[in-house]
């Protein structure tokens, strides 16, 4: 990355600076050479994801997604480390970034609330890349409004029996284990939900739909029909599901904003390089003040977003608070900023942006909205930011 001055900011310490250097060198060597040729769809994308998880795990990066001593590097997941790694991976490859963070998000409920037996049984495999993890919260009729979910889990002897469907689930189809939030009915709404570990080979679990998405990655619908899981697979207690889900998102949400910063940094670097090499009306594009203005706007926007990201991560790591206000501001600003930055870069690329391969090479998303990282959530996020400023509420989006 061209600009690494942000690494000197006081939100980071020397261990973070060392990590940033190591992940940058690793991504340059291991991800950059093949990023242009990443798979586009179907089984190829599944295989690419598995391979990326294996590679990330083998070189120790997934160890930042789970706690020690279960394959992780730290006793508590360090949000600043997650952000530095995501920012760098996203700069080179959205799929590498996705593969990294899903191991954390998918196993996060076990890391944060699992029993020692659950941690020992599931986390080492996740850290080693042998088990792919997924987080199943959203449903066809309940996205932002988690409390409206219908999937139910009914206690029956030593088991719970799950029925329902979860949709828009990242890693659906390749996951070995899902953390599933389901209604157990201890109380109305959000207080009647529980979290379960559901292994993919449980009878009654079926991936009933796969989606083709603009930024390709495994995504689909997972259905449960009389799917039995032992009570031992319940995470925390009955009725704790909403708390488990929200606390997990609290840890991983800032990193969504960090990935957006990574996308935007790449767009800026590519736009600068293009403006310095493209001649128009006898001068380089970069000689025109209008282009300089665009570049200056992008750089300013990126620094503002990065400040919010690392403030949020530092708050989560070092303060006894959920950091609701900080993370909501970081994610809202960074994801919208990334969309603006990509738009500017696409504009500077001119007609070349129409060429799919050229655009890929330049790391410019094919959908200008893609770096917005599911921008349709802006409104609840803004609403949440206001509530967070007043100290209440919980954002409910679960996308990585
Ligand atoms: C690529 C991708 C990956 C994903 N991965 C996962 C995953 O791994 N696991 C998982 O559980 N889920 C996942 N999701 C689902 C994601 O969490 C939901 O899309 C999100 O919660 C929004 O739900 P929805 O799509 O049903 O939109 P809705 O909740 O139906 O919202 C639709 C629109 O209404 C707006 N809206 C909703 N409520 C309000 C409000 N109170 N005020 C103002 N506007 C409002 C929203 O902003 C949005 O524009 C993923 C989604 C995507 C796109």
Closest among 139, 127, 187 to 163, alpha carbons compared: 139
pLDDT (tens digit, 9 = 90+) per residue, 207-261? 999 998 888 899 999 999 999 999 999 999 999 999 999 999 999 999 999 999 9
pLDDT recorded at residue 353: 60
Which residue has a Cα nearest atom 49 of ligand 1?
A: 376
Q: What does the pLDDT look like over 111-138, one tens digit per residue?
A: 999 999 999 999 999 999 999 999 999 9
Ligand 1 touching residue 219 (CB < 6 A): yes
Q: Which two tokens stand for residue 41?
A: 């769809």
DSSP 8-state secondary structure symbol assigned to residue 142: B
pLDDT grade for 375, boundaries at 50, 70 and 90 = very low
| Structure tokens given for 17 | 């600076």
Ligand 1: centre distance to CA 59 (Å): 33
User: In this structure, are residues 66 and 92 in contact, taking their beta carbons and an 8 Å threshold?
Assistant: no
58 Cα: distance to centroid of ligand 1 (angstroms)? 33
Which residue, by CA, sits nearest to atom 3 of ligand 1?
A: 399
Residue 137 CB–ligand 1 contact under 6 Å: yes
* CA gap 324, 314 in Å, rounded: 13
Kindly give the residue spans of alpha helices, DSSP state H, lying in 193-323: 241-277, 289-318
Range with lowest mean pLDDT among 63-67, 215-219, 287-291, 381-385: 381-385
pLDDT at 379: 43
- The residues with which 142 forms a beta bridge, in sequence order, are 139
For tokens 């620094």, the residue is 303
The domains of the chain, with CATH numbers, are 5-132 (1.10.540.10), 134-241 (2.40.110.10), 247-388 (1.20.140.10)
CA 400 – CA 392 distance, rounded (Å): 23
Question: d(Cα 272, Cα 348) in Å, to the nearest integer?
Answer: 9
What separation in Å is there between the alpha carbon of 341 and the centre of ligand 1? 23
Residue with structure tokens 């409104």? Answer: 379
Q: Which atom of ligand 1 is nearest to the CA of 396?
A: 21
The residue whose C-alpha atom lies closest to atom 53 belonging to ligand 1 is 374
């Amino acid at each position: 990355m061209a600009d690494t001055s942000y690494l000197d900011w006081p939100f980071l310490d020397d261990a973070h600076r060392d990590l940033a250097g190591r992940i940058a060198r690793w991504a340059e060597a291991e991800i950059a050479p093949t990023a242009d040729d990443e798979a586009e769809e179907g089984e190829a994308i599944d295989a690419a994801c598995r391979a990326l998880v294996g590679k990330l795990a083998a070189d120790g990066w997934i160890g930042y997604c789970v706690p020690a001593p279960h394959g992780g590097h730290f006793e508590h997941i360090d949000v600043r480390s997650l952000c530095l790694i995501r920012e760098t991976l996203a700069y080179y490859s959205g799929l590498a970034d996705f593969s990294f963070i899903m191991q954390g998000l998918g196993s996060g409920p076990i890391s944060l609330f699992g029993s020692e037996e659950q941690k020992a049984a599931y986390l080492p495999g996740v850290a080693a890349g042998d088990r792919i993890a997924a987080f199943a919260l959203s449903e066809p009729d309940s996205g932002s409004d988690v409390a409206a979910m219908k999937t139910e889990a009914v206690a029956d002897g030593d088991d719970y029996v799950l029925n329902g469907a979860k949709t828009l689930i990242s890693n659906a189809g390749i996951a070995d284990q899902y953390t599933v939030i389901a209604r157990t009915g201890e109380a109305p709404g959000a207080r009647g939900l529980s979290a379960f570990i559901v292994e993919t080979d449980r009878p009654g679990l079926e991936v009933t739909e796969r989606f083709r998405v603009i930024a390709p990655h495994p995504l689909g619908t997972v259905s449960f029909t009389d799917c039995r899981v032992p009570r031992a697979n319940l995470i925390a207690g009955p009725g704790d599901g909403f708390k488990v889900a929200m606390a997990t998102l609290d840890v991983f949400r800032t990193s969504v904003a960090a990935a957006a910063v990574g996308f935007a940094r790449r767009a800026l670097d590519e736009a600068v390089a293009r403006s310095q090499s493209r001649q128009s009306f006898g001068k380089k594009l970069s000689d025109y003040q209008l282009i300089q203005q665009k570049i200056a706007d992008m750089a300013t926007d990126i620094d503002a977003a990065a400040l919010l990201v690392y403030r949020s991560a530092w708050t989560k790591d070092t303060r006894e608070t959920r950091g609701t206000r900080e993370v909501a501001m970081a994610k809202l600003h960074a994801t919208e900023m990334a969309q603006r930055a990509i738009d500017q870069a696409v504009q500077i690329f001119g007609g070349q942006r129409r060429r799919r391969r050229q655009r890929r090479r330049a790391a410019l998303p094919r959908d200008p909205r893609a770096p917005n990282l599911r921008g349709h959530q802006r409104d609840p996020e803004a609403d949440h930011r206001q509530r967070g400023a007043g100290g209440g509420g919980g954002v409910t989006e679960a996308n990585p």
